[in-house]
Amino acid sequence: MPSKEFQGQAFLNQSRKKNTDGRRKCFGLIGYYVVGNLAHVVAVTRISLELMLPPKHRVYTVMEAKWIKIPIEHRCDVDAKTKKNMAIMTEFQIDGNHFYCETLDLSRTFPSTHPAHEPCEEFVWNTFVTKPFADIGMSRWCVVLLQGVAMGRVVPTDDDKAPLGIHLALICRRSSINPGTRYFSRGLNEKSSPGNECEMEQIVFKQADDSVCFSTAVWRRGTVPIHWKSELVSQIADAAIIISDRPYEAIDVYYKRLADRYQNQPITVLNLLRVKSVHADEGNLTHHYRESLRAVKKMFNVKVDMVEFDWHHFLKLHGIEETTEALWDLTDPITNNAGLTTGVLHMSNGRFTDMTVQSKQNGILRVNCADSLDRTNLVCFFNSLHYLRNQCYAIDAASLAPKSPTASLEEIKKEMDANLLVHLTDMYIMVGDVCATLYTNTVAMHTQHMRDMTAHVTTAPSNAAILVNRRIQNQFKDKTRQKQYDIMLGINLKKYFTFSDVKYVCSNAYMFKSVPSYLDKPHRRPEDEIISNSNLCMVAPEDFDYIEIHIFLPNYFRLLEVSMVIRHGQDDTTSPSRMDVFCGTHLDDCVMAYQDLILPRCEDGTKLTFTLPPQISGLKQRNTLYDFEELTTSTHMRVVRVVCYGIAPGSCMTLGQIQVYGTDGRKALIDDVQLGVDRVTRIVANIQDEQTATSPSGDQEKNSTSLPVNNVTPIDNNYFAHVTGGDVLFSSIEDQIATTQDQRDVYVLELHRITDLNSLSFNDVLRLEMIRLKCGLSTSQRDTILIESGYKVAHYDPNNYVFWRDPKIENTIRGKLKSWNCNICRTSIKLRNIGCRYCRLSFCKNCIHNEKLDVIEYMWLFNPSTVCLDCAVRINEQRDLICEIQRLSQDRHVNNETVNEKLFDKNLMPNLDRIFHSPNHQETLLSEFPHAGILSSVATAQTSAPIESILLQEPQHYQDGINFWSSPVGIESVHIIVVLPCYAKINKITLLVDALGYNDQDKPTIRVSLGERLPLLTFMGEWQLPDGTISAHDRIDWDVSDLLTGYDMCRLVQFEVKIPKETKNNNFIHLGRFYIYGQINAAPASSPLNQKQLIQYERVINKKKKSSRVTIKTESKFYRQTSTLDLIIGQGVRVVSGFKILVSHGEQGSLSQVKDLRVGFLTENDRKELISQQVIGTYIIPKVANNTSLEFEFEKNYDNVKIIRFEFLSNYGADMIEVSHGRVSLFFTQPN
ω into residue 111 within 30 of 0, thus cis?
yes
Residue 51 vs 834, nearer CB to Zn ion? 834
Check binding of 871 to Zn ion (CB under 5 A).
yes
Check binding of 825 to Zn ion (CB under 5 A).
yes
Q: Is 103 helix (H, G, I), strand (E, B) or coil?
A: coil
CB of 854 to Zn ion, least distance (A): 14
Residue 39 vs 871, nearer CB to Zn ion? 871
Check binding of 1204 to Zn ion (CB under 5 A).
no
Check binding of 427 to Zn ion (CB under 5 A).
no
CB of 840 to Zn ion, least distance (A): 7
Site for Zn ion in 899-918 (CB under 5 A): none
Please give the Cα distance from 1012 to 983 (Å, whole number). Answer: 8
Residue 631 vs 853, nearer CB to Zn ion? 853
> For residue 654, what are the β-bridge partners?
539
Check binding of 847 to Zn ion (CB under 5 A).
yes
Cα–Cα distances (Å) from 319 to 43, 145, 367, 377, in that order, read: 48, 40, 21, 18
Residue 776 carries which side chain, given as an amino acid letter? Answer: G
CB of 796 to Zn ion, least distance (A): 24
Check binding of 538 to Zn ion (CB under 5 A).
no
CB of 766 to Zn ion, least distance (A): 18
Phi-psi region of 274 (alpha: psi -120 to 50; beta: other; left: phi over 0): beta
CB of 851 to Zn ion, least distance (A): 14
1045 CB contacts (<8 Å, ≥6 apart)? Answer: none
143 burial via Cβ count (<10 Å: 0-12, 13-18, 19+): buried
CA end-to-end span of the chain, whole Å? 53
Please give the Cα distance from 485 to 482 (Å, whole number). Answer: 5
Cα–Cα distances (Å) from 890 to 396, 883, 885, in that order, read: 84, 11, 8
Residue 298 vs 826, nearer CB to Zn ion? 826
Residue 852 vs 1058, nearer CB to Zn ion? 852
Residue 475 vs 819, nearer CB to Zn ion? 819
672 burial via Cβ count (<10 Å: 0-12, 13-18, 19+): exposed
Check binding of 856 to Zn ion (CB under 5 A).
no
> Measured on CA atoms in the order 312, 317, 322, 328, is the torsion positive or negative?
negative
CB of 874 to Zn ion, least distance (A): 8
CB atoms within 10 A of CB 698: 14
Check binding of 836 to Zn ion (CB under 5 A).
yes
Residue 608 vs 822, nearer CB to Zn ion? 822
Q: Which of 438, 822, 945, 1069: binder of Zn ion (CB under 5 A)?
A: 822
CB of 852 to Zn ion, least distance (A): 13
Taking a C-beta distance cutoff of 8 angstroms, is the pair 694, 687 a contact?
no
970 DSSP assignment: T
266 CB contacts (<8 Å, ≥6 apart)? Answer: 303, 304, 305, 338, 362, 363, 364
CB atoms within 10 A of CB 931: 22
Cα–Cα nearest to 216, from 339, 382, 76: 339
Check binding of 875 to Zn ion (CB under 5 A).
no
CB of 856 to Zn ion, least distance (A): 14
Residue 345 vs 871, nearer CB to Zn ion? 871
Helix, strand, coil proportions of the chain in percent (round to 5)? 30, 30, 40
CA angle in degrees (0–180, nearest 5) for 1207-1210-1215: 135
Residue 982 dihedral angles phi and psi, to the nearest 5°: -160, 170
CB of 867 to Zn ion, least distance (A): 5
CB of 684 to Zn ion, least distance (A): 24
Please give the Cα distance from 350 to 190 (Å, whole number). Answer: 45
Residue 825 vs 1016, nearer CB to Zn ion? 825
DSSP 491-507: -SHHHH------EE--T
Please give the Cα distance from 909 to 1026 (Å, whole number). Answer: 35
Return the range that interacts with Zn ion (CB under 5 A); candidates 705-713, 871-879, 1117-1125, 1154-1162. 871-879
Return the range that interacts with Zn ion (CB under 5 A); candidates 180-188, 674-682, 711-719, 830-838. 830-838
Cα–Cα distances (Å) from 854 to 676, 864, 1119, 1143, in that order, read: 21, 5, 23, 36
Residue 822 vs 1184, nearer CB to Zn ion? 822
CA angle in degrees (0–180, nearest 5) for 757-759-764: 75
Element at 377 (helix H, strand E): helix 374-394
Residue 60 vs 843, nearer CB to Zn ion? 843
Check binding of 844 to Zn ion (CB under 5 A).
yes
CB of 794 to Zn ion, least distance (A): 27
Return the range that interacts with Zn ion (CB under 5 A); candidates 369-377, 727-735, 829-837, 1102-1110. 829-837
Residue 1035 dihedral angles phi and psi, to the nearest 5°: -105, 125
CB of 824 to Zn ion, least distance (A): 5
Residue 264 vs 819, nearer CB to Zn ion? 819
Please give the Cα distance from 932 to 1023 (Å, whole number). Answer: 21
Residue 219 vs 838, nearer CB to Zn ion? 838
Return the range that interacts with Zn ion (CB under 5 A); candidates 162-170, 500-508, 609-617, 815-823. 815-823
CB of 693 to Zn ion, least distance (A): 23
Residue 814 vs 1109, nearer CB to Zn ion? 814
Residue 852 vs 975, nearer CB to Zn ion? 852
CB of 847 to Zn ion, least distance (A): 3
Q: Is 221 helix (H, G, I), strand (E, B) or coil?
A: strand
Check binding of 868 to Zn ion (CB under 5 A).
yes
Residue 353 vs 819, nearer CB to Zn ion? 819
Return the range that interacts with Zn ion (CB under 5 A); candidates 131-139, 713-721, 870-878, 1081-1089. 870-878
Cα–Cα nearest to 1125, from 1115, 1112, 1113, 1134: 1115
Please give the Cα distance from 430 to 164 (Å, whole number). Answer: 25
Residue 86 vs 871, nearer CB to Zn ion? 871
CB of 804 to Zn ion, least distance (A): 19
Check binding of 848 to Zn ion (CB under 5 A).
no
Check binding of 824 to Zn ion (CB under 5 A).
yes
Return the range that interacts with Zn ion (CB under 5 A); candidates 522-530, 700-708, 846-854, 1164-1172. 846-854
Taking a C-beta distance cutoff of 8 angstroms, is the pair 294, 247 a contact?
no
Check binding of 839 to Zn ion (CB under 5 A).
yes
Residue 807 vs 1060, nearer CB to Zn ion? 807
CB of 827 to Zn ion, least distance (A): 6
CB of 826 to Zn ion, least distance (A): 7
CB of 832 to Zn ion, least distance (A): 11
Check binding of 304 to Zn ion (CB under 5 A).
no
Return the range that interacts with Zn ion (CB under 5 A); candidates 335-343, 831-839, 885-893, 895-903. 831-839
Site for Zn ion in 1115-1144 (CB under 5 A): none
Element at 389 (helix H, strand E): helix 374-394
Residues binding Zn ion: number (CB under 5 A): 10
Return the range that interacts with Zn ion (CB under 5 A); candidates 608-616, 757-765, 840-848, 951-959. 840-848
Check binding of 1083 to Zn ion (CB under 5 A).
no
Return the range that interacts with Zn ion (CB under 5 A); candidates 191-199, 384-392, 660-668, 868-876. 868-876
Which chain residues interact with Zn ion by CB under 5 A? 822, 824-825, 836, 838-839, 844, 847, 868, 871
